[in-house]
Amino acid sequence: MNSALKVQEAAEERFTNGLATAPDVSQARQQAASAAFDLEEVQAKERDAQVVLAESIGITPTVTLHVVDFSQLPVPTNLEDTVEQFIDRSLEQRPDLLAQVAVLREKEAEIRRARTAYYPTLAFDGDVGGSFDRAQMKFLGNELPWTSTQQPVWGVGLSLTWSLFDGGARKHKLEIAKAERDAAQRSLEDSRDKAVSQVWQYYTDTKLAIRRLDVAAALVDTSEKSYQQTFEAYQNGLSSLVDVLAARRELSQARYTQLDTRATVLESTAALAFASGDLGQQLLKRKSGNMSHEP
């Protein structure tokens, strides 16, 4: 936007001095108006994104959101871990995979319980106690001393229970348990394969995006120099307005490419942390740290 206004001011100044034509001024003004329109469109999209964000976190759109400046966000410059390490952590700590492992263990336990129904059941019963009695007798009007009796009481027993025929109920129950275990196993394997594919994809995207950061920075640097040189040449009458506008468009495109590359790096890094389960571990550590500091 600022560069378009500078070009417009330069064109109007040259036109005032008789060094530019009216079509040049009109074209410069058209470029400035187009840049202003693009800025308004971007701001409108930003407001729409804030409304969507507010709704997603359960607050009203009227609440002021303090958003970190995108250009100030730190961008990773490399990935210290290999893709194999990310995959290993994903299989070990992703909550969805851990939940499916728990389901599989439960189904295996059901199979063991269903198999125990085929075996006899041996039960041991035992009890121990005692009886106590105290009495006093009278004889010819005389009271005899109190007498007491204590007698221990105990008993033990064994019982053997074995179901010989149940009409196939135990077999049917065991078959159902095995089928559910096999289904849980296949679901777990499928989820693991998808997790590996996700980690691999996001890891590759992040690596490629990081490599593009230097290229994008170099593109912006060369585009800025080209624009400045072309603009100065235009002010000195050594270049045309068409060249200046073309250089400004190239600079705007280069800056957009750099911002888009930074966004891609941040998005792919977050996706990689989520797919590998690292993001969940960080949240758990943060929560446990906050709880440990509570009075």
Do 291 and 178 share a structural domain?
yes
Contacts of 86 (CB under 8 A, 6+ apart): 199, 203, 272, 276
Q: Residue 11 — pLDDT band, cuts 50, 70, 90?
A: low
Q: 181-235, pLDDT tens digit by residue?
A: 899 899 989 988 998 998 999 899 989 888 888 889 899 999 889 888 888 887 7
> What is the per-residue pLDDT for 290?
45
Count the neighbouring beta carbons within 10 Å of the beta carbon of residue 91: 17
Do 219 and 107 share a structural domain?
yes
Encoded tokens for 271: 């996706």
> What is the per-residue pLDDT for 83?
86
Do 294 and 201 share a structural domain?
yes
Do 94 and 58 share a structural domain?
no
Range of the domain at 3: 1-67
Q: Where does 142-283 show beta strands of DSSP type E?
A: 142-143, 147-161
pTM: 0.61
Q: 255-278, pLDDT tens digit by residue?
A: 888 888 888 888 888 888 888 887
CATH of the domain at 97: 1.20.1600.10
Q: 74-110, pLDDT tens digit by residue?
A: 777 788 888 888 888 888 888 888 888 888 889 889 8
Do 213 and 187 share a structural domain?
yes
Exposed e or buried b per residue across 40-78, where buried means at least 16 C-beta atoms within 10 angstroms of its C-beta:
eeeeeeeeeeeeeeeeeeeeeeeeeeeeeeeeeeeeeee
Average pLDDT over residues 162-168: 69
Do 105 and 28 share a structural domain?
no
Q: How many independent structural domains does the chain possess?
A: 2
Do 196 and 92 share a structural domain?
yes
Do 109 and 55 share a structural domain?
no
